[in-house]
Structures are given as structure tokens and as C-alpha cells.
Amino acid sequence: MTGLEWTTQEDRLLKVAEWMGVPTQRIAIETIVSTGCFVEKSQPSKCCLAISADSLRRLYQSTQPALLKIFIEEQCEELLVFGCTDHLRHSTVLSWLTAGAISGITAPKAIEVFQLPYTGQAFSRQLASLTFSTAHTVSTPTFELDSSTSEVLPIISGDGRPMFVATKQNSCQMFLLSGAEIVDIHEPVNGDRAVEDRYDQIIPILIVLHHCFGSFCWHSPHRTARFIIDDPLLTRKYGFLTYKELLSSMRSADYGTSIAFIPWNYRRTTRRAAADLFEGRPNLSICIHGCDHTNKEFATSEKGVLDWKGNLGLQRMKTHETRTDVPFEPVMVFPQGQFSSSALLALRTNNYLAAVNTTCFPTDEQNVLTIADFLRPAITRFHGFPLFQRRYPKRLVDCAFDIFLGKPTLLVEHHQYFQHGYEVLERFVRELRNLEPALSWPTLSSQLMKSCVTRQVSGNSAEVQFFTSQFQFQNGIEGCDHLLLTKYEPDSSVVRTVLLDGISVPFYVEKDYLHLEVNTTAGQSIRIEIVDNPEAPRPTNSYCSLQYNARVRLRRELSEFRDNRLVRYPRLLKAAKRLLKRLKLTGE
């Protein structure tokens, strides 16, 4: 519901709802004020109503409060009142709305830590009992509650004072949100904490939408995680990583690991070591970490170099697989986390499944992504190729945010993480499982090619948005026999055909999304493959010279010397890092 002026905050709220797949309708309160009639003919019989505290106050003052109350409690299944900021303006109407349970609003105070108390778990789900801080302290007003009643449930508090609460009046589930700002999800963001630093604005709206619309709002049926270790050779031991201990830890704490393997090392795994590590252990796998692992090797924008590197990395992994019988996952982890947008195109051209990276910002396109991009399991903005975000296992709340949104929880570390054993990781895994007991740890390729969001459109129809060119889906939506599958494809001219279970099927592209309709039965599994047009034959340039090869070898030898020897002598390690930097050989 909006006032005479369509405010920025109302506009932003509707944009979040639309991005999350929720149908919206704007109702002007002035119509109600002038006619005194609360229900329009076009209005659904029941709805989730969002209204600012200012508009609610105007309705309260301009209409008969008794009629307003009947409308809210009988027509609105859920109500969100946002923009509760001012004690003088809003406390009377909020107290009336909540039958006195909210007695006032405090003046804005700088908040250091936000809490999601366990008592709000029915709403905040995996985020319950966690805390977060933003990079800059946020000044926010909070609610004053009537201490004689427990009718109001805090979902988010700021320094212990409730700022986002739930309460029920008759059959209406109410949410009240303090603070003036609603997040602008289409605002370009940059920097790796751009989304995390807006949790105080993003999380309340997502909680309301998920609670009110459930399966009718974009959500994911999957809860998956994977631990990724960058760089190690497949030998008995690499730096502080001892595979025997890792495997034992994986067994006892029940998690799965992918080794981000450097293709340059493809001749260095013995058949014996491969058998020792991988035979009968589906929970350990390898993916691709660069090609030569040189400095910023995928950060260039030179298409020829990127295509050559992408292809060479893949060929080396295939040779490694033939030699050792260790299959690999066609998933790229970029060395030093650096990549250009053209690198993602090179991966697409070479039939990689996906990229997994700590940063999602390409070196050449810094202001393109928006918060909205991070509310989907993968970012496909660049050439339609999926980029999945991974994180260091530090802040549990970030993983909970990913699980809440249905993103795969992808964790990354290096061998140094195991300097004091495996207990730290095991504890983190246990904490993740406490947040989401259904969390599973399939291989990267398995979980990424099933990654999707779905939303029910009607009783028997659902929409499925997927991200990888090879996609597997099991129809677990009750009563649903018709699926509309969509994937972001900004340049549809590259798509040659779409296969459903191996057979070419019709598709169409509308507003940069590829669409495909499928009739299924409950429980049925389908496989979709988007096949691109073949590329022109690639030039035979190898882009390497004797000098280049010598530098690659030197770099690997120095890196391994650092990881296996120097790492145990901190002062020597510092000096070595300085030397590597001078030789431009640094990086993880």
C-alpha cells in the first residue's frame, strides 16, 4: 500500500519481492481514505500487505480505526510494517496495531552487533542464534516492548534491542521493521563484503518473503556444501596437509572435499598415490585450479591466451585422468581468485561446467554486479556462464545466509589451515550441520549441475531457474506436472540446441532468458543440456616459449619449497615471500 507519493523505500521493497518471484500489486491508500472502502474488486481475497509506518498512520487517522482493524485482521494473512522510525509519529499507531505490545520506538543508536535470537527460528530458520556486524556501525531505532506481555517475538535485534519483530493479532501474522532504509537490490556493488554489509537491510525482507510466500517465492530444494583445498599435489603429504588424516577427518565428521588441482602437475601423481587416495572414496574429488598457476593467468582479457589456457588445462586433466584413473570435475577455481569476464567466456567455449571463486568481481568489470545477483545460487551475468561463490570457513552467518537462499555452501582453505590439525574444520562442519541438519556434501559437479531455484506458479505448474549448461532436476514438487525451465542467456546466438534427456527439444529466448517447457510426472528426473555452436578452429599458437616454461617451473618449485619447507620457519617464509613478489611469482 502506498501513499500519494510513490516513495523510494516502497519502490525498493517491490523490487525485492519481484526479484524473489512474488507477484505484487500497488494499492493507493488515498482510494481507501476517500471511499472508506478497504477492499477493491481486483484485490485477491487474502494477501500479504506491506505498508510503511507513515502510510499506516495516515490510514489510522483518516479512516475508522475499527474498520481498518477488521481489514487487517481478516483480509491480510500477513502484514509488514516498515519504516518504523519515529516515536512521536509512529508509536500510537503501532501500539494500537499490536494491542499495546509495542509501546514505543527508541531514538536511533549506533549498532555494533546484530543478533538473530533462537526464539525467532520459525522465521529466520538457519540464521537463528547467529550474529553479524557490518563494516560501518549502523544507526537504527529499535522497538520498545511492553514488558508485561510476551506477544512480540524479536527476529533481529541490534545490540540486544529488537529492530525486526513478529507478532500475531487474530489470524494476521504481523512483521514490524524499524529503520528508514530498504535495500536497493539493483544498486551496483563492488568489494567482497558488499552484500554482507547490508545484511541488516536484506535479511528482514527475505525472511518476510520466504515466510509469507513459501514455495511461491524463489527457493531451492537443495542443501549442499563442499570443502575445497587449493593447490596441493596428490602425494602423501603437502605442507601441513596429510591426506591420511584428512580422509580420516572426513569420515569421522562426515564432509566432502574437492582438491583444486593445478593442471601443470598432471604428470606428478603416481598411480599408487592415486589409488591410495581415491579408491572407494567418492567424497574426495579433484577440480581444476588454473592451468600453469602463473600470476593472474586468467585475469588477462586476451581471448586467444584465455582460450589456450582453458583448453590446455582441460587436456592436462584428461591426460591425468587417463594415467591415474582419477576422474576430475570440470569446475575451475581461478588462481589468486583473479579472472576477467572474458575468462568466463573461454571456460564456456571449452565446455567447463562452472567456476567457483572467492571473489565474484572480474578484474575488467568492477561495477556490473548488483546485490540481486548474489541472491541467486550462481552469478550468470557474464556470458551466461555460472560462477559460484565460495568462502573461507570463518563467519558461520555467511554460510547460513547461503543455505537460507539455497546457494551451495562452498568453503575454501589452503594447507596452512591444518597447521594445528583438523579439529577446527570439524567444529565448523558440526556447526553447519547444527544450522541445517539436512546438509549433504556431494561432489562439486554433482551439486552444481543440480543447483537451481524453483517457484510454484499454480497448483500443477512450477518455474525452475537453472545455471549450468548441463542441468539435472528431479521433480519433487507435489502435484506439479508442468515445468517452465529458464536460464539466463545474454547472447542466445551461441546456443545451437537444447537437449532433454538427450533429445533435441524446442526452446525460445525472451528478455535474455532461455525458456523450455517440460511435462513431467512427480518424482521424475530430467537432464537438460544446452549445446553451443561449435567455435571456429582455434589457432595453433601455444603462447608459451622456453622462457615462459622455465618461469612456470621456477614458480612451482619455489611455491612448493615455500609450502613444504619454509612454512615451518616464519622468518624465512617472510623473506621468501618478498623475493617471490619481486620476481612477480606470488599468489596462492
SS (H, E, C) 299-343: CCCCHHHHHHHHHHHHHHHHHHHHHHCCCEEEEEECHHHCCCHHH
**Residue 337 or 393: which CB sits closer to Zn ion?**
337
Q: Which stretch binds Zn ion (CB under 5 A): 138-146, 334-342, 381-389, 424-432?
A: 334-342
Backbone torsions φ then ψ of 435, nearest 5 degrees: -70, -40
- The full DSSP string for 368-403 is --BGGGGGSSSB-TTTT--EEE-B-TT-HHHHHHHH
Q: Cβ of residue 329: shortest distance to Zn ion, in angstroms?
A: 16
- Which of 82, 109, 104, 98 minimizes the C-alpha distance to 164? 82
Side-chain half-sphere CA neighbours of 450 within 13 A? 21
CA atoms within 13 A on the CB side of 206: 26
Q: Which is nearer to Zn ion, 57 or 316 (CB)?
A: 316
Q: To the nearest whole angstrom, how small is the minimum distance from the Cβ of residue 289 to Zn ion?
A: 5
Nearer to Zn ion, 54 or 230 (CB): 230
Q: Which of residues 48-107 bind Zn ion (CB under 5 A)?
A: none
Nearer residue to Zn ion within complex by CB, 381 or 551: 551
Nearest-approach distance from CB 293 to Zn ion, in angstroms:
6
Alpha-carbon radius of gyration of the chain: 27
**Complex with Zn ion: residue 230 or 373, whichever CB lies closer:** 230
197 is an interface residue for Zn ion by CB under 5 A: no
For the record, the C-alpha cell of 445 comes out as: 559437479
Extract the runs of DSSP E, i.e. beta strands, from 134-223: 138-140, 143-145, 153-158, 161-169, 172-178
Answer for which of 184, 196, 230, 413 binds Zn ion (CB under 5 A) is: 230
- By beta-carbon proximity to Zn ion, the closer residue of 335 and 362 is 335
Q: Does 292 bind Zn ion (CB under 5 A)?
A: no
H-helix or E-strand containing 234?
none
* Rounded least distance, CB 331 to Zn ion, Å: 14
**Residue 449 is inside which H or E element, if any?**
none
Cβ at position 380, least distance to Zn ion in Å: 24
Q: Considering beta carbons, is residue 138 or 229 the nearer one to Zn ion?
A: 229
Q: What DSSP element (H or E) covers 57?
A: helix 53-62
Q: How far is the CB of 337 from Zn ion (least distance, A)?
A: 9
Q: Which is nearer to Zn ion, 334 or 374 (CB)?
A: 334
Look at phi and psi of residue 113 and say left if phi exceeds 0, alpha if psi is from -120 to 50, else beta.
beta
Contact code string over 445-464 relative to Zn ion, x by CB under 5 A: --------------------
Closest approach of Cβ 336 to Zn ion, in Å? Answer: 7
Q: Examine residue 297 and tell whether it contacts Zn ion (CB under 5 A).
A: no
Q: Which residues pair with 357 in a beta bridge?
A: 389
Least Cβ distance, residue 410 to Zn ion (angstroms)? 15
Q: How many residues bind Zn ion (CB under 5 A)?
A: 4
Q: Considering the complex, state which of residue 52 and residue 336 has its C-beta at the smaller distance from Zn ion.
A: 336
Secondary structure (3-state) at 45: coil
Contact between 588 and Zn ion per CB under 5 A: yes
What's the closest the beta carbon of residue 349 comes to Zn ion, in angstroms?
Answer: 23
Nearer to Zn ion, 105 or 299 (CB): 299
**In whole angstroms, how close is the CB of 392 to Zn ion at the nearest point?**
14
Measure Cα distances from 517 to 286, 510, 522 in Å. Answer: 34, 13, 16
Q: Is 505 helix (H, G, I), strand (E, B) or coil?
A: coil
Q: How far is the CB of 495 from Zn ion (least distance, A)?
A: 33
The residue whose grid cell reads 581468485 is 337
Burial class (CB in 10 A: 0-12, 13-18, 19+), 94: buried
Can you name the residues that pair with 285 across neighbouring β-strands? 258
CB of 588 to Zn ion, least distance (A): 4
DSSP 8-state symbol, 62: H
Residues 335-374 contacting Zn ion, CB under 5 A: 335
Scanning 167-175, 301-309, 332-340, 396-404 for contacts with Zn ion by CB under 5 A, the matching segment is 332-340
Judged by CB, which is closer to Zn ion: 77, or 588? 588
Stretch that binds Zn ion, among 327-335, 434-442, 506-514, 544-552 (CB under 5 A): 327-335
What would the x/- binding string for Zn ion be over residues 206 to 225, using CB under 5 A? --------------------
Stretch that binds Zn ion, among 75-83, 115-123, 239-247, 329-337 (CB under 5 A): 329-337
DSSP 102-159: EEEEPPPEEES-EEE-GGGHHHHGGGTTEEE--SS-EEE--EEE-TT----EEEEEET
231 binds Zn ion (CB under 5 A): yes
CB closer to Zn ion, 348 vs 414: 414
What is the binding site for Zn ion (CB under 5 A)? 230-231, 335, 588
